[in-house]
A and B are shown apart, each in its own frame.
Chain A
């Protein structure tokens, strides 16, 4: 798990639900995340996967990841090469799922960030640098329990290493 992320902002709005991230019509069919990754966000931004460069960061407004509990949502983002998600707030099941599978989530004010901005995110020191504007945004830190799981690369690794929950 890397604590320093660089990438290009891919801008979305408020209340991006998990059906938008990966539609039910795909997610029920397969556990092949590389296949699911090709369909991320397609109902709200056609051909989004084709736009990706391999160094992309999702940026959104409030309540990112609301709706269904499908863990395929954060997994498909991760497999599409998304480095992390920066949003004003996250829905709770998505939040847990993303941490559990090792996809970094950054909660902060995203109003000033625009499509295509170059971002440098420092999770340890708690800031997002927007190199394009330029500006620095402070991050709300992750709770300690989640930081522990994320820093070991997710809950599977955490439970392999610890055999039990230690909070």
Chain B
């Protein structure tokens, strides 16, 4: 019987034909936890089987990114707990300054096409950009996966997203995913796989990470892309070979099908306090901005910093606006430095923070004050998300964020003269 990408990857892992809505225990290829979830996972692991070894230390990584470097004594104690566990068990740990888990796990080569990966962070779905199934789990599930190398899953139904044509100038992958979430709603894809295919050539790999990252904002379990020449190049393959990737069968059964013409998408923002409250910039009126944050696992990659730098180069951040830039990893920071983006951003008035999550999750390095309006390239604008429930968070692309930093108001980047 014909299968979706999700059904194929589960079938390959379970070793028998398996379809949507069925429950199976499956092996996983990689397991990840960050400093907001790893301490609880370690605690659960110790409770399940004291002093037991993990199933395979080469297939597990811990990342210190949510509070990095540590802002307090209490957090430092949790970081130490992670370092001690990693050392006892022989696990790879990405410590302060290395970057955000969802950039590091692919960047360090831990994701292959066709893999099934779990991470104790809801945005683990990011790795689906590489034609893999990856999903977020809680700490106890993660402890079980560290112990057994397996987890139980319900095979999800799939919504097929067919992409066509190209973006217009100053429209980006972030606008695409905001458009999609606005259409689906915050629970429009709950327990489902979003499968992206069609003509993906307008989407760079950085753009695909942005889109897959936000699948969870529609409730999805996976956001998975077909492979193409862009994927092959990212993996360093000589040429594109269809057999190296997982494609759905022609007669696969879909819950729904959505077609998106990229040329019809405009710059969008998610207005407070919901990711699915999506609006055209022209429809929100004149909104004065206090802080702009460009970074995160959604939009802190090299291409994002490049777009922001190209808009900010030779200009100044508006008076009264704080611009914070968080590269998603040390490698990205270094590459951005070599490309000249970092000096462009600094000269425009940006503050560059240590690669990590900080402001996005309200832990440190940019907590807004009461009544502040923030334009952020992150994935969530929930009330209180950045550490103050009286702040208003708008989500946008790096281009819109950069244009807004210069203007002092939320600004359509198409209106900027370059």
Contact = CB atoms under 8 A, between A and B. Distances in A.
B36 interface: yes
B46 to A, nearest CB: 10
Interface residues of A, number: 43
Contact of A165 (B121, B148, B387): B148
B363 A24 contact: yes
A43 B383 contact: yes
A69 interface: yes
Interface string A87-120: 0010111001100110000000000000000000
Of the candidates B67, B124, B138, the one having the most CB atoms from chain A within 10 angstroms of its own CB is: B138
A31 B187 contact: no
A19 interface: yes
Interface of A: 15, 17, 19-20, 23-25, 27-31, 43-44, 62-63, 66-72, 74-75, 89, 91-93, 96-97, 100-101, 143, 145, 154-156, 159-160, 164-165, 167
Nearest to A164: B148
Contacts of A43: 383-384, 389
A92 B190 contact: yes
Nearest to A46: B389
Given A15-B187, A62-B187, A155-B141, A69 B37 contact: yes
A31 B40 contact: yes
B74 A29 contact: yes
B120 A69 contact: yes
Interface of B: 23-25, 35-37, 39-40, 43-44, 47-49, 66-67, 72, 74-75, 78, 120-122, 124, 136-141, 143-144, 147-148, 150-152, 154, 186-187, 190-191, 219, 221, 274, 361-363, 367, 380, 382-385, 387, 389
Of the candidates B74, B136, B152, B387, the one having the most CB atoms from chain A within 10 angstroms of its own CB is: B152
B141 A67 contact: no
B387 A24 contact: yes
Contacts of B137: 69, 93, 96-97
Nearest to A163: B49
B96 to A, nearest CB: 14
A164 B191 CA distance: 24
A91 B361 contact: no
Contacts of B219: 63, 66, 91-92
Contact of B191 (A20, A92, A165): A92
Contact of B49 (A25, A44, A62, A159): A159
Nearest to B187: A63
A70 B387 contact: no
